[in-house]
């Protein structure tokens, strides 16, 4: 079988099943591990698949977002907390020190961090999310909510929120978005959060990105900032080594939870 035919069969399998592993390719075509890796690397370089550790996923459309997610609060998105998200959140909490001033993303990972944050750890937490602020309320930390006109998901993105964030200096910010690649950087589906995130990044001494494997190696519609804006990236063990190495070359400290 020619390589091009093998690639076509791999793409057909991924289209039908959503993903493929290197072991599956070996069984399908009776080829070695090195050939599998080369095949997937070539397909990823053409933008046809998204590489993961040990396989590949179907490449998502740049505008992809789960149905209805834009109207859900971070708490409502977390009806079931997956192991990989929990591991990333707990690894992020390890970076938080007593008396830190931190910004927490209004995404699901921000809510999980708030939920897992030790009750007796005194820090100042700045949020633009009502549901995250409520999760922090019983704890010993000081909570600052940006305010502004509330979006239907319980978050604040407008000029009032941005003006508040410009007045705060952060020890650390914990951010995420729809996607991240070494070439296009951090990206998102809608523009509403871009200005706010760049203010937070500019005002933070340490910028910590949190990206599960499914968000690495693919792009969304709008760039927030270059990947090099991150000082640290926390991901999971399944994250593709090629993508992680490329981020390391940009000066990002990659940590796998």
Are 166 and 222 within one domain?
Answer: yes
Q: Which of 15, 34, 58 delimits the end of a domain?
A: 58
Residue found under tokens 């971070």: 74
The answer to whether 253 and 52 have CB atoms below 8 angstroms apart is no
pLDDT in the model for residue 64:
57
CATH at residue 96:
3.40.50.1360
> Alpha-carbon distance 89 to 200, whole Å?
19
Q: Is residue 64 part of a domain?
A: no
How distant is the alpha carbon of residue 16 from its chain centre?
26
pLDDT in the model for residue 74:
81
Domain count, the chain: 2
| CA-angle at 51, arms to 46 and 56, nearest 5° | 105
pLDDT in the model for residue 67:
53
Virtual CA dihedral for 170, 172, 174, 180, nearest 10 degrees? 110
Are 49 and 74 within one domain?
Answer: no
In the chain, how many H helices and how many E strands? 10, 13
Range of the domain at 39: 3-58
Stated pTM of the model: 0.80
Other Cβ atoms closer than 10 A to 42: 13
Are 139 and 250 within one domain?
Answer: yes
Q: What is the CA radius of gyration of the chain?
A: 19
Which residue from 47, 38, 174 is spatially nearest to 104, judged by alpha carbons?
Answer: 174
Local confidence pLDDT in tens for the 257 residues of the chain: 778 888 888 888 888 888 888 888 988 888 888 888 888 888 887 777 888 878 888 777 665 556 556 678 888 878 788 999 999 999 999 999 999 999 999 999 999 999 999 999 999 999 999 999 999 999 999 999 999 999 999 999 999 999 999 999 999 999 999 999 999 999 998 899 999 999 999 999 999 999 999 899 888 999 999 999 999 999 999 898 889 999 999 999 999 99
Which residue from 63, 116, 91 is spatially nearest to 209, judged by alpha carbons?
Answer: 91
CATH at residue 26:
1.10.10.10
Greatest alpha-carbon pair distance for the chain in Å reads 64
pLDDT in the model for residue 165:
97
Q: Is the dihedral of CA 77, 82, 84, 85 positive or negative?
A: positive
How distant is the alpha carbon of residue 65 from its chain centre?
13
Are 184 and 108 within one domain?
Answer: yes
């Amino acid at each position: 079988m020619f390589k091009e035919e093998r690639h076509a069969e791999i793409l057909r399998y991924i289209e039908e099943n959503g993903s493929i592993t290197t072991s599956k390719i070996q069984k399908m075509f009776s080829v070695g591990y090195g050939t599998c890796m080369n095949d997937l690397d070539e397909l990823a370089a053409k933008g046809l698949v998204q590489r993961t550790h040990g396989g590949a996923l179907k490449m998502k459309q740049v505008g992809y977002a789960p149905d209805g997610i834009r109207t859900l609060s971070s708490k409502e998105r977390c009806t079931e907390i997956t192991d990989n998200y929990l591991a990333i959140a707990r690894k992020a909490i390890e970076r938080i020190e007593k008396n830190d001033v931190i910004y927490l993303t209004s995404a699901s990972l921000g809510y999980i961090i708030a939920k897992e944050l030790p009750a007796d750890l005194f820090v100042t937490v700045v949020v633009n999310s009502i549901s995250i602020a409520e999760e922090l309320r019983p704890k010993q930390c000081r909570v600052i909510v940006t305010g502004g006109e509330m979006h239907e998901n319980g978050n604040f993105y407008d000029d009032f929120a941005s003006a508040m964030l410009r007045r705060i200096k952060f020890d650390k910010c914990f951010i995420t978005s729809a996607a991240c690649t070494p070439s296009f950087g951090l990206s998102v589906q809608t523009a509403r959060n871009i200005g706010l995130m760049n203010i937070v990044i500019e005002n933070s001494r340490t910028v910590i990105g949190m990206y599960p494997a499914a968000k690495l190696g693919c792009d969304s519609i709008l760039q927030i900032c270059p990947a090099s804006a991150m000082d640290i990236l926390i991901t999971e063990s399944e994250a593709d080594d090629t993508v992680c190495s490329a981020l390391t070359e940009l000066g990002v400290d990659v940590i796998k939870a």
